[in-house]
Structure 1
Amino acid sequence: MIHTNKLTKHFKNKKETVEAVKGVDIDISPGELVAFLGPNGAGKSTTLRMLTTLLSPTSGSARVAGVDVVADPAGVRSRIGYIGQGNGGGHSYRVMDELVMQGRFYGMNGAEAHDRARELLITMDLQELEKRTVVKLSGGQRRRMDVALGLMHSPQLLFLDEPSTGMDPQNRANLWDHIMRMRVEHGTTIVMTTHYLDEADSMSERVIVIDHGEIIADDTAARLKSNLAGDLLAVEVPLDSAQAARAVLGRAAADGDLDESMQNGTARFRVRLPDGARLAPGLLKALDAAGAPVTSLELNPPTLDDVFLELTGRSLREGVDV
């Protein structure tokens, strides 16, 4: 559904050339749901703009939905849906009119556009709002209408740019329920960006991480977390047994990653483990045998932010594209 070869974008800034995207290779198969992550300035938005024909590449090539983005940008646009961060509907227009108009833009006749709009109103739980003007919709209702607009022409590929930004948890959950149901029913390929890492973790089948214009990771969220971050084990032992605990945990720590702090007669250690659930019981026994009995324990699975911290030395949340 998406294939790029050394896709590159440079910008001229006075006498300086800024390499925003440095020859990325991307392959996304039909039906996949892929999360595209990267901090501010990483090249994520520039890459997506090239894939959606909003920017022309400096070099390299890209085929989207089987069409070359440079040779036939109109052909690409006819095959994709794009839901940006801003609202797509005109404020003074009614919901049904906006959907029908969108269908007509894509070549549907009046009857086809009305039938498709009616179908999407039901699917996106907007059927009671068809005569309401866009400006009177709530934030969650507007986002659902944006998704309906993007789906009017039944695109093979849907780009979702921060689809749930600014929504409360209930509306976020409702929106994703609608999107996932549409995906199951129509087999739509979805490429999304988000700064809600729980969305990328739970919804996507693959995560692509870009930084400094280059793809630095491309795998399932589960494998990225397991291979790059590991579980975080935090234990507390009596202060007088800190030296013994340090020796045991230091041998187990991945890459020597062991943090410690002392307070109120207790030594607290934090260590990354490649397979915490499996290794933790043995570590507890080893600590006890070394004279460092554990008085408190926490085991937390890794997050995608931990993955990005491991890859780049900074948190994904330090700067997010908007």
Structure 2
Amino acid sequence: MQGISHHAIDTDPSPIPGKTGAATLGEWGSDRLGDDYSSLTIDLGDDPEGEGHITATLVRYDPAVRERPRAVVLWVHGFTDYFFHSHVAERLSDESIATYGIDLRKCGRSLRPGMSAHYSTNLSRYGAELDAAIAAIRADTSAPIVPICHSTGGLIVPLWLADRRDAGAFPDVAGLVLNSPWLEFDVDAFVPFRASRIMPAVDGLIAALGKLAPKRVLPLPTNETYGSSLSSSRLGEFDYERALKPIDSAGVRPGWLAAVRRGQLRLQKGLDLDLPVLMLRSERSSRWRTDADLILDVRSMKKYGPRISRCLTDTPLAGARHDVLLSTIDVREKAVAELISWMDAQSIGV
């Protein structure tokens, strides 16, 4: 397994979205997940949002990388989230798949005091750290790379791939896995009327607030049911740092929400990636049932997923949670089986 010394990943020239300078990779060192894990810092320079010096963090499960894996997955988290999924990394290692996870700028390990958590006014900016992550993985292994992107990550990553394709610089990835992607401003599932009728007005309000008060935290209602079902400090089985993944929310800011809506509307027009895509999701959404998606409307995933790629395999799983791989163990095993079957069918790492 190769080590990575300090060097710059050239993210010029513009105008490729997200390519605003040189991202510098640090050395692999210890990680909070334990002795079998290491992490490196991706230095991204000054924050375009004016919140100081920003970094991203890449994590890897070392034993799987040493074993010459058949494939690699790159975990890209969602909102109010970070990479802590050691159970996924260790399970996939049994299938000769190595796992890397990235904490994007101002998220998880990459959040610094005084920063607005998960805040960006342009989703394309995440392309800088995603490019750097691919380069770092390539320094370790030549195995095919498949991003697994959850929720907001499931919006960010397809847009990044489309940006790079349009610029003639498609990333070195063999496929894409969407884990409950956030493809629509999902309110229909949780209100007693068809909110789509008022979406133009809602979009106008979001855009206006994004300009007038971009960093003001919106006074939105919170529901702790999902977080409580996951955290071992409440009713769940997963031990993670609540400072990095709060039970309720990291705080929704208009500038970020406006960026999300722009990204969703672009995706809904069709990205048409020439790439095999697997979409893992729950069979149903609910406000209170913990064996369903408590966060998003799965109908939106079914509707808009095919607009990412015509080669999309939509796989609903009974009993799956919003993060399918934080579901109960029987559902997780079904998800892993679907992932392996899909990789085999697509000749990824075969």
Q: Same fold (TM over 0.5)?
A: no
Larger radius of gyration, structure 1 or 2?
Answer: 1
Structure whose residues are more often strand by fraction = 1
TM-score normalised over the length of structure 2: 0.23
